Amino acid sequence: MKKILFFLFVASLSCFSQNSTDSFALSNAALSLTKQNVSYDPSYFSIDYPNGDVPSDKGVCTDVIIRAYRKLGVDLQKEVHEDMKANFSLYPQNWGLRNTDKNIDHRRVPNLMTFFKRKGAEKPITANLKDYLPGDIVCWSLGGGLTHIGIVVNKKASNGKRNLIVHNIGAGQVLEDCLFKYKIIGHYRFKN
């Protein structure tokens, strides 16, 4: 009986350890993206499906999210496309589309926000630094109808208080202290 209890205890520690590691997996994937030289390019690209990507030296803010999840084996292109295809009317109609477009739908912030919310990943938007954990996805309004998205990572700002963000707002896939720089409109913790 003691051996069984010991085994269960070790197994539970293993599960706890795995979950702790998983909370940093997306963060680490995002940090690895900052080593790639990427120029900001919002052009429309025709890409493969599934697992399609724009040229590796190009991208926008959503491509940071897509590429980080892809490093973990999650294809947001496919996931978003399939959900949009089955639930098209529930997604934003900002672009006048009548059908899904596997080349671009997953590369739009409002679509990712809708997808994450539909998957139960939505978290409260707060002003509390401790609510934004490594691996969390944050969306901002930049004003004028422009939206932005990034990943909270397990690196701290120079003041040691805020977690930094990996994003691409025009200077490539970079690490920056910008969590509260813009108005937060979405906060998600998506684990597939």
User: pLDDT tens, 88-105?
Assistant: 999 999 888 899 999 999
Query: What is the model's pLDDT at position 19?
Result: 37
The model scores a pTM over 0.85: yes
Helix, strand, coil percentages (3-state) for the chain, rounded to 5, are 40, 20, 45
Written as one letter, the residue type at 151 is I
Residue identified by tokens 């994450």 is 116
User: Which residues neighbour 75 within 8 Å (Cβ) at sequence distance 6 or greater?
Assistant: 50, 51, 69
Say if residue 55 is preceded by a cis peptide, omega within 30 of 0: no
Question: Which CATH topology does 24-188 take?
Answer: endopeptidase fold (from Nostoc punctiforme) (3.90.1720)
Residue identified by tokens 């896939």 is 173
Written as one letter, the residue type at 83 is D
Written as one letter, the residue type at 34 is T
Query: What is the model's pLDDT at position 26?
Result: 97
**CA-CA distance, 159 to 146, in Å (whole number)?**
29
Query: What is the model's pLDDT at position 3?
Result: 45
The predicted-structure confidence for 100-159, as pLDDT tens digits, reads as follows 999 999 999 999 999 999 999 999 999 999 999 999 999 999 999 999 999 999 999 998
CB 27 within 8 A of CB 151: yes
CB burial readout 127-162, b (16+ within 10 A) else e: eeeeebebbbbbbbeeeeeebbbbbbbbbeeeeeeb
Average pLDDT, the chain: 90
Banded pLDDT at 85 (limits 50, 70, 90): very high
